[in-house]
């Protein structure tokens, strides 16, 4: 993952160069060491001192400088686990496509062997020009990752395609570029978040799931090369990049979304907190306050993972168990009763575990009686540990 990694950030001369400062800050915040290489034109838009202040390293632009003799074009090219050019002008894209090396950045790019990401930003007429599009195709065919620009208002007061991609999208593309694609070829369906079970047009029964655990699994599975379908109950989280996102509300809707896609997937991970019961009747109008108590009859929701277990075939099926007592015994009973391969148990009463938090503490139970304890860590790291176990099952061919 990101901490301890190194990045070279190439900045070229466009108005979006100021956004590169924020990108550098976001990377440093993730404990990534950043070396900035600027073109002379970039210095017309933003000063090297800005980057030096943010990264703690000088920003380089001079191919022949003696000042930092140990950081030349070859050592800078070898420095990064990734090289990101943001913003990338039509000029640098053209030079890269043609193999021209006439300044420090283009020379670093030619000498680089790390993954290269190019984030174009320019006027829409320039971006859509056949010359630029052709150069982008050349780079893509060489394995360069292109982080496509967004549509919107451009600095030249026109609207069109050419705005630098959102910085979060660039950061995610960086994380993806340096992650091993050890789940390539898998199609993973993840469920996340709560379900909402309405009893009138304005009220519903739900639970505290934020969706963070499921979204972390979807994000990490996609970074590792899997095709990901994320079936999500209502959350306030941004949709993870690059996943097929299917929003649902109720358990019945979630069941429909999952079961209609089951045939197409190789792995199912059910991190959603599905309501076991729903109101038997949904009133057409808002229920008015009356004297005395209000009784709402509940009926059982479909048990989605049990249905998946019954039609499991060669799929790997992973369930979750959120328990407030007898964590291991309850989780183990669900593992076997619902024909899962693994169950991830989290304890409602442990600080930093379960609902809402950015972290989790889990135990992974398998069919052989094994219990792996994973200590407190960020939900993305927890997701990686769960996916390691999924991968081991895939490789063992025991799905
Ligand atoms: O979303 P967060 O705030 O990040 O919190 C994460 C989490 C606590 C929700 C997650 O880690 C978790 O534990 N999810 C499952 C919670 C839960 O509903 O456990 P359960 O024991 O009730 O269900 C067991 C399994 O059956 C789960 O995989 C669940 O998705 C599935 N299930 C449950 C009921 C039902 N009707 N259909 C199901 O498929």
Residue ranges per domain, the chain?
Answer: 6-177, 187-396
pLDDT of 62 reads 87
The atom of ligand 1 lying closest to the CA of 343 is 28
* Six-digit token string for 278: 């729903």
Alpha-carbon span 273 to 292, nearest angstrom:
32
Q: Which fold has domain 6-177?
A: Rossmann fold (3.40.50)
Q: Return the H-helix or E-strand segment holding 219.
A: helix 212-223
Interval between CA 311 and ligand 1 midpoint (Å): 19
Is the Cα torsion angle 126, 243, 193, 387 positive or negative in sign? negative
Interval between CA 215 and ligand 1 midpoint (Å): 13
The atom of ligand 1 lying closest to the CA of 307 is 39
Q: Which fold has domain 187-396?
A: Rossmann fold (3.40.50)
| DSSP string of 139-171, one letter each residue | HHHTTPEE-PPEEEE-TTS-EEEEEPPPHHHHH
Residue given tokens 């006027």 in the structure block: 123
- Nearest alpha-carbon partner for 386 in 372, 396, 368: 372
Q: Mutate which of 270, 310, 356 to test ligand 1's pocket (most atoms within 8 Å of Cβ)?
A: 270
Q: Mutate which of 189, 277, 319, 376 to test ligand 1's pocket (most atoms within 8 Å of Cβ)?
A: 319
Alpha-carbon span 7 to 307, nearest angstrom:
46
Strand ranges, E, within 282-335: 298-300, 316-323
DSSP state of 183: T
The atom of ligand 1 lying closest to the CA of 212 is 4
- Nearest alpha-carbon partner for 362 in 351, 370, 373, 352: 373
- Nearest alpha-carbon partner for 27 in 36, 39, 14: 36
Which residue, by CA, sits nearest to atom 31 of ligand 1? 305
Question: Which residues in the chain come in under a pLDDT of 70?
Answer: 66-71, 398-399
CB 363 within 8 A of CB 335: no
Q: Which of 156, 161, 283, 376 is catalytic?
A: 156
* Residue 156 annotated in active site: yes
The atom of ligand 1 lying closest to the CA of 304 is 39
User: Who's near 98: CB < 8 A, 6+ residues apart?
Assistant: 135
Cβ-based neighbour number of residue 255 at 10 Å: 20
pLDDT of 63 reads 84
Which residue, by CA, sits nearest to atom 18 of ligand 1? 273
At 328, is the secondary structure helix, strand, or coil? Answer: helix
Interval between CA 233 and ligand 1 midpoint (Å): 12
The atom of ligand 1 lying closest to the CA of 211 is 1
Is the Cα torsion angle 279, 281, 285, 286 positive or negative in sign? negative
Which residue, by CA, sits nearest to atom 21 of ligand 1? 321
Interval between CA 296 and ligand 1 midpoint (Å): 23
Alpha-carbon span 72 to 92, nearest angstrom:
19
Which residue, by CA, sits nearest to atom 33 of ligand 1? 274
CB 310 within 8 A of CB 333: no
pLDDT of 399 reads 47
- Nearest alpha-carbon partner for 393 in 309, 314, 319: 314
Q: Mutate which of 205, 209, 340 to test ligand 1's pocket (most atoms within 8 Å of Cβ)?
A: 209
Interval between CA 194 and ligand 1 midpoint (Å): 8
Alpha-carbon span 358 to 369, nearest angstrom:
29
Interval between CA 321 and ligand 1 midpoint (Å): 6
* Six-digit token string for 292: 């005395």
Backbone dihedral angles phi then psi of residue 237, each to the nearest 5 degrees: -80, 150
Ligand 1: lining residues by beta carbon, under 6 Å: 193, 209-213, 251, 270-274, 276, 301, 303-305, 319-322, 334, 346, 354-356
Interval between CA 312 and ligand 1 midpoint (Å): 18
pLDDT of 290 reads 87
Residue 87 preceded by cis peptide, ω within 30: yes
The atom of ligand 1 lying closest to the CA of 334 is 24
Examine domains 6-177 and 187-396 and report if their fold is the same.
yes
């Amino acid at each position: 993952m990101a901490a301890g990694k190194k990045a070279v950030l190439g900045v070229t001369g466009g108005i979006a160069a100021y956004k590169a400062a924020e990108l550098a800050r976001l990377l440093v915040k993730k404990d990534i060491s950043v070396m900035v290489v600027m073109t002379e034109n970039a210095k017309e838009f933003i000063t090297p001192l800005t980057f030096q202040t943010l990264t703690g390293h000088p920003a380089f632009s001079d191919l022949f400088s003696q000042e930092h003799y140990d950081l030349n074009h070859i050592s800078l090219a070898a420095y990064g686990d990734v090289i990101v050019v943001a913003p990338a002008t039509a000029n640098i894209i053209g030079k890269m496509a043609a193999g021209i090396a006439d300044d420090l950045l283009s020379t670093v790019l030619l000498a680089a062997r790390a993954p290269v990401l190019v984030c174009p930003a320019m006027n829409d007429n320039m971006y859509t020009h056949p010359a630029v599009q052709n150069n982008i195709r050349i780079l893509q065919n060489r394995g360069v990752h292109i982080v496509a620009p967004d549509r919107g208002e451009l600095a030249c007061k026109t609207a069109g395609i050419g705005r630098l991609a959102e910085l979060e999208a660039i950061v995610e593309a960086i994380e993806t570029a340096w992650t091993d694609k050890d789940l390539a070829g898998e199609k993973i369906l993840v469920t996340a978040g709560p379900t909402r079970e309405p009893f009138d047009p304005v009220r519903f029964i739900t639970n505290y799931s934020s969706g963070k655990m499921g979204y972390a699994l979807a994000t990490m599975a996609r970074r590792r090369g899997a095709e990901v379908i994320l079936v999500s109950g209502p959350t306030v989280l941004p949709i993870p990049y690059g996943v097929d996102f299917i929003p649902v509300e109720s358990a019945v809707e979630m069941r429909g979304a999952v079961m209609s896609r089951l045939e197409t997937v190789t792995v199912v991970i059910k991190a959603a907190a599905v309501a076991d019961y729903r109101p038997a009747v949904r009133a057409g109008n808002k229920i008015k306050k009356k004297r005395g108590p209000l009784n709402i009859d509940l009926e059982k929701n479909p048990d989605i993972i049990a249905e998946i277990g019954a039609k499991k075939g060669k799929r790997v099926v992973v369930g979750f168990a959120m328990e407030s007592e007898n964590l291991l015994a309850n989780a183990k009973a669900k593992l076997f009763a619902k024909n899962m391969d693994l169950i991830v148990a989290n304890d409602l009463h442990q600080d930093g575990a379960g609902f809402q938090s950015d972290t989790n503490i889990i135990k992974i139970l398998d069919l052989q009686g094994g219990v792996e304890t994973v200590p407190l860590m960020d939900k993305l790291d927890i997701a990686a540990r769960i996916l390691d176990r999924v991968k081991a099952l895939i490789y063992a061919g025991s799905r």
